[in-house]
Structure 1
């Protein structure tokens, strides 16, 4: 009787092991990893969004950060997200808080205190500027969209879905 239980136990364990191996094989090879958080002049920021998993992760975390910047290149057919954008954020008195930091993807988030900021985004010699108002407890978001003709091959882009 003991050998029967033992063989049944071995069969059940083998079946469970095969099932676990099958689940592991069907799982994604990797999951999105948070891009690193950087700090300059006492301001934390994070950028990323290359690939659908990382873009989804950045969209998920964005509401938890006071400021979100999005970068894209648009033509009459649609838009492509842009990476490698040089970003400068200045306080209302002109002090550079983020000074020429480079985005690692089409999204950048920053821990800015409530206030008004001038944000400058440069992509391959084309500069866009916008004012950003960060209110207490309410995340602010601004999109920088360059017109077609900006050299997308060097910008590191992916199609907007």
Structure 2
């Protein structure tokens, strides 16, 4: 036995079908525009990822950084504000001086790394200007190091983006 629907409901079938197709199309378009994770690289057994060029990718890096043991942020600051820096050469050494990340290049102002708990020395270089910091990665919690170069840093070797 086929159910009989009132004529007012039968008239709505084309509308319902159109709405369903529209929802499927919208989902496909939204998925196509989603931000793609930057690639994950490995150096001496340590995974790392860098990025943050453009607001969508910067938001993505800020969202994923608490899930990585170590986060590094790079900027160049003057009296007007700060520019995010990219193409920063990064070296991370463990407590015995062994380079775990050895002169890897950050493709954006953010870099995350899967470092084991411990103490590290981090060097970040733009052109000939090197900044160095100690970083302690605790068990079960993320650590962050921010590197800010002064205005006049050799920006010919660095990509920059204004902080908003």
In the alignment, which residue of structure 2 is the partner of 1:42? 45
Alignment size in residue pairs: 159
1:71 counterpart SS class = strand
2:62 counterpart SS class = helix
CA spacing shift, 1:107–1:7, aligned 2, 3 Å: same
Matched, 1:149 2:152: yes
1:92 counterpart SS class = coil
| Cα distance in 2, alignment partners of residues 88 and 72 from structure 1 | 17
CA spacing shift, 1:15–1:35, aligned 2, 3 Å: closer
Q: 1:82 aligns with which of 82, 85, 90?
A: 85
2:149 counterpart SS class = strand
Aligned-residue offset at 1:14: 3.7
| Contact 2:127/2:155 (8 A) holds in 1 | no
Matched, 1:159 2:162: yes
The TM-score, its normalising length taken from structure 1, stands at 0.86
CA spacing shift, 1:150–1:93, aligned 2, 3 Å: same
Q: 2:17 aligns with which of 2, 8, 13?
A: 13
Aligned-residue offset at 1:8: 5.3
What RMSD in Å do the two structures reach over aligned CA positions? 2.5
In the alignment, which residue of structure 2 is the partner of 1:130? 133
CA spacing shift, 1:19–1:44, aligned 2, 3 Å: closer
